[in-house]
């Protein structure tokens, strides 16, 4: 009787030793092995995650600020206007009428007529030599029309064409706009974008290689387990799945690290960047990443982890091939 009770207790103990139910399915087992790998090799996993996260941080920052930078390019042109100086013979009535006529032309969003008196008042207000003009006796400033181009006509080429067409009018003396500045700004922005994406590409590739290398090393480390599993009748999918899951886990956690680094970096540079923008009277503001942008980075990082592990496992290994075959 006592023996039977002892036996039953032992059996119960053995059953209690079972882990959570989900770890005894193929997928659950693979996931549990991936977590076990991270838990058992904390320092190595931490280093790998940091390398992966830092590699992905710059691409993440570029992705997060791409929207703001795109707005910066368009915004500066949008805020710019052409100043059309009228000839001295054009009176205020004709000037205002011309401003209305220009609105009918393609590529012009709105116009604003500045009469000669208004121009003088503004000059006096904004210039230290405003009082000197009073000594001249009459107003030397011409009337002007401020032309705000249509958004569809944005870009240096469109602005140049508009300015040329306006300058052909006999009532117009001169059209002023700094095309070089627009061209330079756009060139700098497009170069920065290109360099940014190339750098992002290289860093993403390095992140992929980091994952691939980690998984390959993991494959070598787990050779006993893989060989035992093969002897017990495991198929290739059973052998490979924990490694692919490990890659995905590294990718996801590395993506989290990248997001955190990017968020900290953007929050650090946001204030100085906004101040600099303010100095140039620009409405540009560096925006903090949205939840969907963070989710996109996590998704891409996880996919990179899976891809890295698949690429790594595509190379034949003795521990994954059927028995009796050799890697080519």
Partner 1 sequence: MIRFENVSLEYTPGRFALHDVSFSQPAGAFTFLTGHSGAGKSSLLKLIARLEKPTAGFISIDTIDYDTLKPRHEPLLRQQMGIVFQDNQLLNDRSVFDNVALPLIIGGYRYNDIKKRVAAALERVGLASKAFELPIRLSGGEQQRVGIARAVVAKPKVLLADEPTGNLDAQISAEIMQLLMQFSASGVTVLVATHDQGLLETFDFPQLTLHGGKLVDIHNSSQATAHTQNTWQEQPSSQPAARESRIKRRQTSSRHGE
**Judged by CB under 8 A, does residue 184 bind partner 1?**
no
Q: In whole angstroms, what is the distance from residue 227 CA to residue 232 CA?
A: 9
CB of 3 to partner 1, least distance (A): 12
CB of 257 to partner 1, least distance (A): 26
The torsion region of residue 113 among left (phi > 0), alpha (psi -120 to 50) and beta comes to beta
* Order of all β-strands in the sheet with 82-86: 108-114, 144-149, 82-86, 172-176
Q: Taking CB under 8 A as the criterion, which residues in 185-224 touch partner 1? A: 224
Among positions 229, 277, 282, 317, the unique one binding partner 1 when judged by CB under 8 A: 229
Q: Name the residue among 143, 216, 153, 215 with its Cα closest to residue 182.
A: 153
Q: Taking CB under 8 A as the criterion, which residues in 20-79 touch partner 1? A: 21, 24-26, 29, 36, 40
**Judged by CB under 8 A, does residue 11 bind partner 1?**
yes
CB of 10 to partner 1, least distance (A): 3
**Judged by CB under 8 A, does residue 10 bind partner 1?**
yes
Q: Taking CB under 8 A as the criterion, which residues in 232-271 touch partner 1? A: 232-235, 238
Among positions 1, 2, 4, 14, the unique one binding partner 1 when judged by CB under 8 A: 14
Q: What are phi and psi of 282, to 5 degrees?
A: -95, 145
**Judged by CB under 8 A, does residue 231 bind partner 1?**
yes
CB of 256 to partner 1, least distance (A): 26
CB of 321 to partner 1, least distance (A): 10
Q: At what angle do helices 42-79 and 26-40 cross, to 10 degrees?
A: 90
Place of tokens 């993403």: 204
Cβ nearer to partner 1, comparing 15 with 126: 15
CB of 43 to partner 1, least distance (A): 17
Total residues belonging to the chain: 328
CB of 15 to partner 1, least distance (A): 5
**Judged by CB under 8 A, does residue 170 bind partner 1?**
no
Stretch that binds partner 1, among 11-19, 54-62, 151-159, 294-302 (CB under 8 A): 11-19
The residue ranges that bind partner 1 (CB under 8 A) are 7, 10-19, 21, 24-26, 29, 36, 40, 224-225, 227-235, 238, 322-324
């Amino acid at each position: 009787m006592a023996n039977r009770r002892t036996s039953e207790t032992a059996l119960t103990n053995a059953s209690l030793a079972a882990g959570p139910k989900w770890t005894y399915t193929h997928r659950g087992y693979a996931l549990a092995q991936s977590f076990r790998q991270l838990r058992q090799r904390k320092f190595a996993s931490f280093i790998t995650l940091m390398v992966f996260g830092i590699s992905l941080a710059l691409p993440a920052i570029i992705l997060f600020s791409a929207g703001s930078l795109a707005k910066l390019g368009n915004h500066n042109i949008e805020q710019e206007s052409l100043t059309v100086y009228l000839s001295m013979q054009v009176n205020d009535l004709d000037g205002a009428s011309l401003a209305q006529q220009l609105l009918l032309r393609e590529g012009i969003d709105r116009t604003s007529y500045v009469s000669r008196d208004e121009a003088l008042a503004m000059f006096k207000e904004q210039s230290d030599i405003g009082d000197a003009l009073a000594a001249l006796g009459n107003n030397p400033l011409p009337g002007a029309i401020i032309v705000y181009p249509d958004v569809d006509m944005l870009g240096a080429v469109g602005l140049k064409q508009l300015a040329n067409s306006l300058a052909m009018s006999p009532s117009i003396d001169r059209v002023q706009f700094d095309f070089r500045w627009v061209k330079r700004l756009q060139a700098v922005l497009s170069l920065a974008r290109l360099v940014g994406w190339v750098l992002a590409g290289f860093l993403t590739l390095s992140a992929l290689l980091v994952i691939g290398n980690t998984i390959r090393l993991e494959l070598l480390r787990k050779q006993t387990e893989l060989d035992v599993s093969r002897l017990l009748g495991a198929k290739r999918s059973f052998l490979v799945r924990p490694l692919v899951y490990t890659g995905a886990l590294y990718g996801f956690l590395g993506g989290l690290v990248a997001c955190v680094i990017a968020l900290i970096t953007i929050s650090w540079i946001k204030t100085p960047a906004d101040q600099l923008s303010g100095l140039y009277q620009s409405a540009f503001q560096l925006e903090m990443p949205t939840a969907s942008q963070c989710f996109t980075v996590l998704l891409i990082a996880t996919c990179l982890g899976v891809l890295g592990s698949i690429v790594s496992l595509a190379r034949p290994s003795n521990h994954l091939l059927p028995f009796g075959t050799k890697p080519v």
